[in-house]
Amino acid sequence: MVMFFLCIFVVEKLPNMRKTILLSFLVLFFISTKAQKTQLDRRALNYYSQEQIAKMPNSKIKQINFLYQESFIIPEEFKTQINKDDIDIRDYSKQRLKDKRAKVFVINKNAKRETESEKSIYFYLLSIEELQQAYKKIK
């Protein structure tokens, strides 16, 4: 926003025709960058129709993206074994606790039977309170 007003100040120093053209360009550029909508995380696309997504305010999309991308913590020792982009957080949502972080074990949907090593791979879900605080900050 500051950059926009700085550009207008510089434009004021130009001759009239150039001023009109440049001001028009700046206004269009500013409007187009503000109008761009945030993309919904690919994992969330399975749970919302295109119509629902189109009606969502940008802040709601950012909250959903936070849920899928940042509402959990992978311990350092598992960062090479767990790809944070592969976690479908909806599979774990019921395990989220109100006021403390929940330790959850990775679900391998492709395995017929979990091995002992798979049962020991885990991550932590942020608490419901932490999630609500984060949502309030997202605008």
Bridge partners (DSSP) of residue 73 are 124
Whole-number pLDDT of residue 107: 79
Tell me the pLDDT band of 1, cut-offs 50, 70 and 90: low
| Confidence at residue 117, expressed as pLDDT on a 0 to 100 scale | 47
- 139 versus 84: the higher-pLDDT residue is 84
Q: What does the pLDDT look like over 72-116, one tens digit per residue?
A: 999 999 999 999 999 999 999 999 999 999 999 997 755 445 454
CB 56 within 8 A of CB 49: no
Q: Is the pLDDT of residue 69 over 80?
A: yes
Amino acid identity at 75? P
